[in-house]
Amino acid sequence: MSAQQTSGAGATEPRHGMRLLAMWLVISAIADPLFWFLAGPHMPPGDMTTTASGAQSDFNVLMMAALPVTLGVWLYYGYAAVMWRASRGGSDLIGGPKARSNLRVQAAWIGTTTVVVLAAFVYGTVELVVPAGAGGGEGPQPIWTPTSKTILPIQVIAQQWKFSYRYPTYGGFETDQLMIPNDTTVAFHVTSLDVIHEFWAYQLEVKADANPGTDNVAFTTTKVLGNVTVRCSELCGIWHGAMFNFGHVVSKSQFQAWATTSEAKLAPVTKLLPAFSWSYTPDANGAAGGYYPDNADKYNKIETYGADKVSVADTKIKSS
Amino acid sequence: MAISMHESVDLGRPGETPPPGAAKRRSPWLGQHMGTALIAAAGGFALGHWAGNAIAGNYENVAGSGQNNVATVLALSFGVLGWLIGSGALNYPLAKLVGKEPAPEIEEVGWGRYFRFTLDHKVVGMQYIIAVLLFLFTGGLLAMAIRTELLSPTTHYFGPGTYIAVVSEHGTVMMMMATSVITGPIAGWLIPLMIGSRRMAFPRVEAFSFWMFTAGYLVILTALPFGGFPTGWTGYAPLQTQAAGGMDSYLVGFAVVGIGMITAGFNIIATIINYRAPGMTWSRLPIFIWSLLAVASLLALATPTLVTGGLFGILDRTAQTAFFVNEHGGSSFLWENLFWFFGHPEVYIMALPGFGIVGEILPVFTGKPLFGYRVGAAGMLGVALLSFFVWQHHLFQSGINPDMRPLFMLTTELISIPTGFIYLTGMGTLWKAKIRFEVPMLFALALYFNFLIGGITGVFLSDVPVNVTVHGSFFVLAHFHYTIMGGLIFAFFGGLYYWLPKMTGKTLNKTLSLVHFWMMFIFFNLTFFPLFIVGLLGQPRRVFEYAQRLQGLNDFSSISAYLLGASFLVFTANFAWSLWIDPKPAPANPWGSRGLEWQTPTPVPFNNFERIPVILADPYHYGEENPLPVADLGVPVGAGVGSGGSGGSGPSGISGTTLIEGGPGDV
Average pLDDT over residues A161-178: 91
In a domain, A77, yes or no: yes
The rounded mean pLDDT for chain A is: 85
Model pLDDT, residue B655: 37
**Could you tell me the CA-to-CA distances from B656 to B13, B606, B660 in Å, in that order?**
21, 19, 12
pLDDT band of B116, cuts 50, 70, 90: confident
| pLDDT score, position A300 | 55
**Residue B427's pLDDT band (boundaries 50, 70, 90)?**
very high
How many angstroms away from the CA of A222 is the closest CA of chain B? 16
The CA distance from B220 to the nearest CA of chain A, in Å, is 19
Separate counts of helices (H) and strands (E) for chain A: 6, 12
pLDDT of residue A290: 61
Q: pLDDT tens, B45-77?
A: 999 988 888 888 777 655 555 568 898 999 999
Yes or no, beta carbons of B434 and A92 under 8 Å apart: yes
Residue of A51, A94, A194 with shortest CB distance to B238: A194
Q: Quick check: B8 contacting A, CB < 8 Å?
A: no
Smallest Cα–Cα separation from B178: which of B570, B487, B390, B443? B487
* A211 and A126 part of one domain: no
- Is the pLDDT score of B569 beyond 60? yes
Chain B positions in Cβ-Cβ contact with residue A96 (cut-off 8 Å): 369, 623-624
d(CA B297, CA B80): 26
d(CA A33, CA A163): 41
* CA angle centred on B478, ends B476 and B479, rounded to 5°: 60
In a domain, A172, yes or no: yes
pLDDT average, residue stretch B463-468: 90
Mark yes or no for CB contact B456/A69 under 8 Å.
yes
B179 Cα to chain A: minimum distance (Å): 23
Q: Is residue A312 part of a domain?
A: no
Averaged pLDDT for residues A11-28:
88
Nearest chain A alpha carbon to B399: A139
Provide the sign of the torsion angle of the four alpha carbons B268, B273, B274, B277, taken in this order.
Answer: positive
Task: Please name every residue paired with A247 in a beta bridge, in sequence order, or none if there are none.
Answer: A178, A228
d(CA B392, CA B336): 9
CATH number at residue A139: 2.60.40.420
Contact yes or no for A84 and B435 at CB 8 A: yes
For an interface test with A, the pick among B233, B404, B469, B622 (most A C-beta atoms closer than 10 Å) comes out as B469
Contact criterion met (CB below 8 Å) for B599 and B660: yes
pLDDT digits (tens, 9 = 90+) for A54-94: 999 999 999 999 999 999 999 999 999 999 988 887 777 78
pLDDT at B644 > cutoff 50: no
Question: Quick check: B22 pLDDT over 80?
Answer: no
Mean pLDDT of A13-42: 92
> How many Cα neighbours within 13 Å face the side chain of B168?
34
Q: What is the pLDDT of residue B325?
A: 86
- Cβ distance B538 to A231 less than 8 Å, yes or no, reads yes
What ranges make up the beta strands (E) of B18-69? none
**pLDDT above 70 coverage of chain B, percent:** 89
Query: How does the average pLDDT of chain B come out, rounded?
Result: 86
Distance CA(B96)–CA(B102), nearest Å, equals 7
Contact map slice: B 484-503 vs A, CB within 8 A:
none
pLDDT score for B12: 44
* B474–A contact, CB cutoff 8 A: no
Confidence of residue B13 (pLDDT cuts 50, 70, 90): very low
Smallest CA-to-CA distance from A140 within A279, A300, A235 is with A279
Which of chain B's residues have a Cβ under 8 Å away from the Cβ of A133?
Answer: 402
Q: Would you state the pLDDT for residue B241?
A: 86
Give me the pLDDT at residue B63, please: 59
* C-alpha to C-alpha distance for B6 and A248, rounded to whole angstroms: 75
Pick B399's closest partner by Cβ from A96, A131, A214.
A214
| Helices and strands of chain B, counted as H and E runs | 20, 3
Q: How many domains does chain A have?
A: 2
Q: Quick one: pLDDT band at residue A34, thresholds 50, 70, 90? A: very high
* Cα–Cα distances in angstroms (integers) from residue B430 to residues A110, B426, B582, in the given order: 18, 6, 36
Q: What number is the average pLDDT over the span B1-17? A: 45
Residue B244: is its pLDDT beyond 90?
Answer: no
The runs of H, that is alpha helices, within chain A are: 16-33, 50-83, 97-100, 103-129, 252-272, 296-299
Picking from A44, A69, A196, the nearest residue to B538 by CB comes out as: A44
Return the CATH number of the domain spanning residue range B118-581.
Answer: 1.20.210.10
pLDDT-derived band at B638, boundaries 50, 70, 90: very low
Interface of B with A in 146-185 (CB under 8 A): 160-161, 163-164
What is the rounded CA–CA span in Å between residue B29 and residue B49?
A: 29
| Burial class of A98 by CB neighbour count within 10 A (0 to 12, 13 to 18, 19+) | exposed
Q: How far is A261 from chain B (nearest CA, A)?
A: 32
Q: Determine, yes or no, domain membership for A305.
A: no
Q: Say what the pLDDT of residue B201 is.
A: 92
Residue B76's pLDDT is 95
Q: Indicate whether A67 and A141 sit together in one domain.
A: no
**Residues A230, A209 share a domain:** yes
Tens digits of residue pLDDT in A243-280: 999 999 999 999 999 999 999 999 998 888 888 888 88
Same domain, A108 and A159: no
Same domain, A30 and A176: no
Short-list B604, B607, B610, B603, CA closest to B658: B610
CA distance A171 to chain B (A): 26
A168 inside domain: yes
For chain B, give every domain's residue range: 31-97, 118-581
Q: How far apart are CA B129 and CA B138, in angstroms?
A: 14
CA distance B327 to B317: 15
Residues of chain A positioned with their CB less than 8 A from the CB of B238: 194-196, 212
Counted across chains A and B, CB pairs separated by less than 8 A come out at: 302
Q: What is the mean pLDDT of residues B479-507?
A: 94
Average pLDDT over residues B222-242: 90
What domain range includes position A295? Answer: 135-299
Of A3, A99, A127, the CB nearest to B369: A99
Indicate which of B172, B466, B625 best probes the interface with A, i.e. most A CBs within 10 Å of its own CB.
B466
Q: Per the domain annotation, does A61 fall within a domain? A: yes
The whole-number pLDDT of residue A90 equals 76
pLDDT of residue A131: 86
B464 touches chain A (CB under 8 A): yes
CA distance B25 to chain A (A): 50
CB atoms within 10 A of CB B21: 8
- Asked if residue A189 and residue A111 are part of one domain, the reply reads no
pLDDT tens column, A177-214 = 999 999 999 999 999 988 999 999 999 999 999 998 88
Residues B335-377 pLDDT 10s? 999 999 999 999 899 999 999 999 999 999 999 999 999 999 9
Instruction: Give one word for B638, left, alpha or beta, with left for phi > 0 and alpha for psi -120 to 50.
Output: left
Q: Which band of pLDDT confidence, cut at 50, 70 and 90, is reported for residue B539?
A: very high
Q: What angle do CA A190, B171, A233 make, to 5 degrees?
A: 20
CA distances from B450 to A100, B228, B456, B486, B661 (A): 25, 32, 10, 5, 34
pLDDT on residue A291: 66
- Provide ipTM, 2 decimals: 0.89
Closest-CA residue of chain A to B543: A241
